[in-house]
Structure 1
């Protein structure tokens, strides 16, 4: 009998948050039985606190939002709006005032180790009020308006180009104005730009201003691209003198002795990190943030103190990133300094601070969206990999739980990419504790699943291991553990393990849609087949 028919249908909703941002919400087991349960689920996945009510978009009244009075009013792929019944107050810590907090919003989560607090002695700054000067690199680069005189020259040259096809050879002043304007737009996203992104900028320039096309270039913009590279490099020199952390982290004094050359070990965002090495918040210094880090260790020991910890983790984000990027500490040492980070809620929050993308909800919903197409590809695969995938497909057919099916999809991706899923998820069955601990200590990167018996689906302990250390324990399921492991790769600025590099690339660039334009040949082939 095929048990898959008993799986409750997942429901996906669009949630409009109180700060007018939007987030996808996945209810893997269908709609809850009551509005209260639905509100609890919204709070968990969207990281919200306080008293809330929900409104639904009613098509009968021109898609206006009306108060939700029954779960039956909620439809799959419908839209809900979250309303704070009482608006939280913006407050200040005893230790220092907060005038320009770091970006970060509480992310989706299913469990946490800090109970909610009804009253705390340190006030909270809502994460929705946080801001960042950076955003993700755009799909289409916007060429800004240049200075008035530059725009006037370009307008006249554009008219001439349309009339006679004559291109403009800009004088040094005009060329400098154009390059300066483009560089100012580029650094709104990043200070280190890939060759492909520089192509995009130069191509956008001649698309908007065809009169700047270079006749002797095969692309029409080769000279502009080279000039932009030099201009951006010179601009980074200015930023280094001003103390921009993204640039100063690569100065010679911050490189190992004997390897102090400009080209050695450049540290820059490589996986769509928007806030790779951010500036310290206003009115904070390295010393004040280090003092806050020490106070966090004490706050962790107090009960009903989650809001205090959450606030201080937001404010110390830049300090933590500088430490991770600059010093690359061992996981054990970093965990001792920042134990609050190793929690489902904080991993979600840290990931969103770094990428501006929600981790858990994006991971699960995208996995569900691609599930059917991936299953189809698994069935078509031949050879030895196809035989191994048949085992996964047979296991999936027996699953009566959506999380178990997600686990099968993840394992299938590993196999499809020519990698061993046991390098990602290792199950330990009927083993004594010492043997299990020895095996875990030898694990560099992975998920462990402890079972009392091979056939047991209950009594599991599922956790995440890095450098032989259990960082997370008692997680609900394997997909959750994989999402948290992926988030920790970003939070700790770790490279993907070589024996799982294609699997993690699929998770990053296809599932999470981060830096999806730059694909390896194997992942590009998978993506092309997914959309055939």
Structure 2
């Protein structure tokens, strides 16, 4: 059995997926393609490309299995629909990326003029144009190949290090080449890197090239870490001048008058958002996307228009994110501008655009996966939380319904983390409509469940409240409502409410596995016990 190999696969819709080859690299490229089809759920005739460091990390056609490296990157391209584009004053043929089976293909629309009265063509709405190929921060940072001369110097220095332990003190040109290469790899994931992540990059560098170890540093890479911080900061300045939205939003001219300091109101991804503030699609401007937003207000009112709305929501993703990140609008105003977002399918789609992780399916599957171990932890908990958890356990014992079980597990997590589940889910039993509306208006964040009688098995309505207004109604289960509420917090860039901070941290970092390497003391204690 070979050593397991992990690959990053860049898919069509701009998302990326991890591919695990448990038995090591297959014998041929065809075998790799079989695994890509199987694990990524792809169909049709496609070609794989690999990132070639000898040509500036450009993607070239994969022809030999020897070109595939552990933790390398492969890209999928469709072979069935060639299109042409202008490049370097010559006409060249490029291949469209393969779409996932569940993604909507513009070619399936027979009449392109049906899109908002012909104002937008289906070719323009390709999801590959409006999504980013960035992915989540890796568990192990992969040090890229540097320029040819830099690699040659490092190879010679490595031989000297192996023979007599001599470390390399790089000259300014070599050091700059190394830092440039590392920064280019870092920005594939994020522009603002934490101290822990920067330490990870520096450690990976000296692990890959031991000859660069700094003998005067207690970690062996303290100087590299500091240099990387300055290099990345300078690179952000360069990107800001070029108009990169994720760093431009933090420029001094965008700060409030009187508070124009670099540290004030810093807006950056804090919950593992991959596309926190993406760039606009090619050939689009703020004005053109604003016009599309106005078309969407009419499109959502039309019958049998779901696919058109879906395509335009994908196309306007960057415009919507800029509005959320830059302006922080109140929910009522944002809902009036983007009513299509407040549906289960679009919340799922928006969450995946932001994080590249599926929302509903992963949340429910992870909830089921951990439910047995969580039950054991609930039974062991003592004190007042333990007494409250006994009620939850008894309720689960009396019912075999998976939806009831999931609801109980969620409430149990709230109690276990020292928070009140009523802050998350509040039931209104036998109350008149005026009393219910008054209670909802006083709710900032939460889920409501309406019942005619306490003994009713099926609620009349289950929905979500944000800033005192119903934003989602007629949800099937409480577990689904929790998933959608979590998705809306990402979609609207909302902070976790104070009384549910630890519960949502568990959802994010343990269930959804987003930024799971950095946990609070409470969440870390739960995770350690959960995986014992």
Interval containing the TM-score (normalised by the shorter chain): 0.7 to 0.9
TM-superposed deviation, 1:134: 1.0
What corresponds to 1:31 in structure 2?
Answer: none
Give the Å deviation of 1:102: 13
Distance 2:367 2:280 in 1: 35
User: Does the Cα contact within 8 Å between 2:12 and 2:97 map onto a contact in 1?
Assistant: no
Note if 1:237 corresponds to 2:243: no
- Equivalence for 2:90: none
Determine if contact 2:183/2:232 at 8 Å carries over to the other structure. Answer: yes
Distance 1:18 1:243, change over 3 A: closer
Give distance in 2, aligned partners of 1:306 and 1:19.
Answer: 18
Match of 1:410 in 2: 410
Label 1:417 to 1:147 Cα distance change in 2 as closer, same or farther (>3 A).
same
Aligned length: 450
Q: Which residue of 1 aligns with 2:363?
A: 363
Aligned to 2:323: 323
Runs of 4+ in 1 over 3 A off after TM superposition: 17-24, 78-84, 87-91, 99-108, 116-120, 123-131
1:432 Cα deviation from its structure 2 partner = 0.7
Distance 2:292 2:222 in 1: 49
Instruction: Name the structure 1 match of 2:55.
Output: none
Matched, 1:197 2:197: yes
| C-alpha RMSD of matched pairs (Å) | 3.2
- The answer to whether residue 329 in structure 2 is matched with residue 313 in structure 1 is no
Change (3 A) 1:361 1:156: same
Query: Offset at 1:249?
Result: 0.1
Counterpart of 1:349 in structure 2 is 349
Q: Deviations over 1:9-62 (max 9, x none)?
A: xxxxxxxx99999999xxxxxxxxxxxxxxxxxxxxxxxxxxxxxxxxxxxxx9
Query: How far has the Cα of 1:411 moved from its partner?
Result: 0.4
What TM-score, normalized by structure 1, do the two folds share?
0.79
Q: Give me the TM-score of the superposition, normalised by structure 2.
A: 0.79
**Equivalent pair of 1:300/1:309 in contact (CA under 8 Å):** yes
Q: Match for residue 264 of structure 1?
A: 264
Deviations 1:45-92 (Å, cap 9, x if unpaired)? xxxxxxxxxxxxxxxxx9x99xxxxxxxxxxxx9996869xx99999x
Equivalent residues of 2:17, 2:40 under 8 A apart: no
1:278 matched residue in structure 2? 278
Do 2:15 and 2:133's aligned partners in 1 also have CA atoms closer than 8 Å? no
How many angstroms does 1:128 deviate by? 7.4
In structure 2, C-alpha distance between the alignment counterparts of 1:204 and 1:256, rounded to whole Å: 39
Unmatched runs of 5 consecutive residues or more in structure 1 = 1-16, 25-61, 66-77, 92-98, 109-115
Quote the residue 2:301 is aligned against. 301
Other-structure match for 2:452: 452
Stretches of structure 2 lacking an aligned partner (at least 5 in a row): 1-10, 19-30, 45-77, 84-93, 116-120
Structure 1 residues 354, 106: CA separation in 2 closer, same or farther (over 3 Å shift)? farther
The one-character-per-residue Cα deviations of 1:444-482 (angstroms, maximum 9, x if unpaired) are: 000000000011012420000100010000000000000
Partner of residue 504, structure 2:
504
Q: Which has the higher contact order (CA 8 A, sep 6+)?
A: 1
User: For 1:446 and 1:339, how far apart are their aligned partners in 2?
Assistant: 19
Q: How far apart, CA to CA, are the structure 1 residues paired with 2:199 and 2:142? A: 13
1:26-105 to 2 correspondence within 5 Å? none
